[in-house]
Amino acid sequence: MTAAGHSHGLRAFTALHEALARLEGPAALGFAALLGIFSALAFAPFHLAPALAVSLTGLVWMLDGARGRKKWARAMFLRGWAFGVGFFLVSMYWTALPFLVEPERHAVFLWMPLVALPGGLGAIWGLALAAGGAFWSSSPSRIFVFATAMGGAEALRGVLFGGFPWNIAGTSWMPGGAISQLASVGGVYWLTLMTLFVMVAPAALVDTRQQRGVLGRSLPAVLAVALFGFGWAWGVQRLADETVSTDQTVLLMDVGVPQTEKSTVAGQEEILSRYIELMRTVPSAPDDIMIWPEGALGKPMLNDTQSIDLIPEFLDGRVLIAGTSRFSRVETETQWFNSLAILRRGTSAAELVGLYDKHRLVPFGELAASRIVPFGDYMSGLLPEALQINARSGFTPGPQPTVLLPQGDVPPFIPLICYEGLFPDMVRKALPQRDQAKWIIVISNDSWFGAGLGPAQHYAQNRYRAIESGLPMARVASRGVSAMVDGLGRQVGRGQPVPGDPEGWRSSVVRVPLPAPLSSTPFQRFGPTLFWLSLVIVAGGAFLTWRR
């Protein structure tokens, strides 16, 4: 391109920057929300990374205008908040679907997932950007300020009120692709910080200063290109090796029952019958490990005589790993657990050879709301009836993340139940000896999420646990994606439909060899150390490049 062409392109970007910076009032909030909506295309199932770069660049240019106003903190907060509302509303619309299971009773409360949730999560971003406004300037330093503020906000979102790190920026990269491999070095939060910097760097090429200093403004873009190029090349090299399989074969099985049929007695009986039919008809070997999803039967399997009597007849030599709720009575108190059970065929009934109780419970959905916020019991009453018992009394959390060491030939594994698969430390801190683990098992009930973005996003984020740890992952999700993933996050087998489903059901079965684990990753050894170190370095970059 000629010098004239560069100059023309720069003038065009300058005009766009000025137009965005001048936006005020409802127009500014509306356009910020549109940018947030557009940024959702960067996440599963689309993974269109340029959408995040365009959206964040536009947001920074809008923040440039906000910082010049008399009430700049308010203006920056509102633009960041509106961007977050647009993003969370569109990318997480599926959180409203549980309220439509019985719409005649619960549709009136749709404001909770469609207004309160995006509004609250957006406020975290708005507050972070308002705080960053204290250090904002027209120089390239604002790129470092933005990455620091948003990187810290995403880390906070992962712990606040129990944590909800859904669709953080690092997960925008296709799991199993080259850039996603960087999660093995510093974890997904470190990848998020790097992603935010890379995606927003183009915004520095245009600012409110005069046209001189173009080379100085190129500094963030040059650093971003270097980071992306190195990360991509390193990731490609890491992915060069083919998946190595072990001799162990795993059978992933879900009957795909709709959520509305899980709570009825007739539905629960049909679920059990369908699982038994699949156990009889799906080809397998006597030493297979069979896995069912979270809450597989819709009832407490270990406390149900019919289930415990019938299932062993069809196990043969196979091991069954299944999700189930269960209860135990201590004196006058009944405690409920969301559990993963390991069963073998005993002499007369199923023999329980391993048990894990979910440690990290979903706020308001599983963890008693009274433990989270004031007036939590009242808020629980607004939830769909199927969730109210859990939210009011709550499941009892298990003691800690753990490595299960089952009897027999089942390789030691780290169990994760649904929501737990969002948290890197659930794998990294598993006890007694995380180095003994050979794989990860994730079970989930994605039937609450519908058939849209929710199940695809959940699967993508779970795959990052394999990348961070180097451990293969077997994932079974009710009406979601059931698949085997290797230690690089690559899918090596995915559930396929099986004929004979009842109307409206969607079974999924795949039999696949268990991949071999990789050597321990830097993230497994050092945890989030690199994230915090990099956050300090990026913040330091803001001060080194700062100009009023």
Q: Are strands 333-345 and 319-330 parallel, antiparallel or unpaired?
A: antiparallel
How far, in Å, CA of 403 to CA of 439, rounded? Answer: 10
The pLDDT assigned to 375 comes to: 43
3-state secondary structure 413-461: EEEEEHHHHHCHHHHHCCECCHHHCCEEEEEEEHHHHCCCHHHHHHHHH
CA-nearest of 291, 312, 295 to 410 is: 291
Please name the residues in contact with 243: beta carbons below 8 A apart, sequence gap of 6 or more: 486, 488, 490, 492, 515
By CB atoms closer than 10 A (0-12, 13-18, 19+), residue 183 is buried
Q: What is the pLDDT of residue 372?
A: 41
Q: Are strands 289-291 and 483-485 parallel, antiparallel or unpaired?
A: unpaired
Round to whole Å and give the CA distance between 100 and 110: 9
Whole-number pLDDT of residue 472: 98
DSSP state of 248: E
The helix (run of H) or strand (run of E) holding residue 353 is strand 350-357
Low-confidence ranges of the chain (pLDDT < 70): 1-10, 208-215, 364, 367-393, 432, 434, 547-548
Contact 422, 468 (CB under 8 A): no
CA–CA distance, 335 with 90 (Å, rounded to integer): 37
* 136 CB-side CA count, 13 A: 24
Give the catalytic positions in this structure: 294, 358, 418
DSSP collapsed to 3 states, 80-112: HHHHHHHHHHHHCHHHHHHHHCCHHHHHHHCHH
Q: Which CA distances in Å does 527 have to 86, 324, 426?
A: 32, 31, 11
CA 89 and chain centroid, separation: 16
DSSP track, 262-276: SSSHHHHHHHHHHHH
Q: Which residues pair with 490 in a beta bridge?
A: none
DSSP 71: T
Answer for the pair 318, 350: CB distance below 8 angstroms, yes or no: no
Burial pattern 152-164, b for ≥16 Cβ within 10 A else e, equals bbbbebbeeebbb
**404 by DSSP, 3-state: which?**
strand
| pLDDT tens-digit readout, 355-410 | 999 999 987 677 654 444 444 444 545 555 544 544 445 788 998 889 999 877 89
Strands 245-254 and 289-291: parallel
Q: Give the distance between the most distant pair of CA atoms in the chain.
A: 85
C-alpha distances out from residue 30 to 22, 25, 92, 120, 200, Å: 14, 9, 19, 18, 20
Q: Cα separation of 259 and 225, whole Å?
A: 46
Torsion angle of alpha carbons 60, 62, 63, 67, nearest 10°? 140
Give the Cα separation of 450 and 430 in Å (integer).
Answer: 31
Q: Which helix (H) or strand (E) holds 251?
A: strand 245-254
**363 has which bridge partners?**
367
Could you give the C-alpha distances from 4 to 147, 204, 467, in angstroms and in order? 32, 21, 46
> Omega into 140 within 30° of 0, i.e. cis?
no
Phi, psi angle pair for 470, to nearest 5°: 80, 10
pLDDT the model gives residue 233: 98
Nearest alpha carbon to residue 438 among 246, 159, 152 = 246
Q: Which amino acid is at 191?
A: L
Residue 50: asked if its preceding bond is cis (omega within 30°), the reply is no
What the chain holds in terms of domains, given with CATH numbers, is 9-240+528-544 (no CATH), 245-360+397-515 (3.60.110.10), 361-396 (no CATH)
Residue labelled with tokens 């000629």: 2
HEC profile of 306-345 = HHHHHHHHHCCCCEEEEEEEEEEEECCEEEEEEEEEEEEE
